[in-house]
Structure 1
Amino acid sequence: MPQHVSVYQLLGMTFLVLVTVAWGIGLAVMLRRGRAEAAMRRAQSLSGLPDQRQVGPEREAVELTPVEQDEFAVLVRRLSDH
């Protein structure tokens, strides 16, 4: 033990380190428990819903006539000028 450190300072520092470690462990346990409980609540509350589709609707396409393509090109040019 260094000469310039008293026994009370050493005990105080040891106590603070132990309290900090205990606080960190307690915080980790509370967060883990809260996360697990939230996941269980979420799973229970959504159990009555039907399974969701994983794929979206099919893409739709419309063929334009040559006149419609020309009008669309004019519209695009007008909008890009502004």
Structure 2
Amino acid sequence: MLQNVSILQQIGVAVLAVATVVWAVGLVRVLRRDRFDVDVWRQAQTLAALPAQSGPPRAETVELTADERVAFAGLVREFGRS
């Protein structure tokens, strides 16, 4: 034991150390339980507003007019120079 420290101070340090360990163990248990509950909840939830997709989304195409193709080609050339 330390000679310059009173017995009350030593008891106080021991009580604080035990309280810290108990708090840490309790926190870990609560966080683990909460994580499990959240995982169960997430698996139970479904996105009813979104339609079910059986595969990747299909590609959309837009037909361009001749003027639009020329303008797009000009943009591609302009960005290619940067």
Bin the TM-score by the shorter chain: 0.5 to 0.7
Where in structure 1 do 4 or more consecutive aligned residues deviate above 2 Å? 52-62, 67-74, 77-80
Gaps of 5+ in 1: none
The letter of the residue matching 1:33 is R
Paired with 2:44 and 2:76, the residues of 1 have a C-alpha distance of: 54
The count of corresponding residues between Structure 1 and Structure 2 is 74
Paired with 1:26 and 1:5, the residues of 2 have a C-alpha distance of: 31
The letter of the residue matching 2:2 is P
The letter of the residue matching 2:43 is A
| Cα RMSD after superposing both structures | 3.3
2:27 matched residue in structure 1: 27
Distance 1:73 1:54, change over 3 A: same
2:10 matched residue in structure 1: 10
Report percent identity of matched pairs.
Answer: 35
Gaps of 5+ in 2: none
TM superposition score normalised by structure 2? 0.62
1:45 matched residue in structure 2: 45
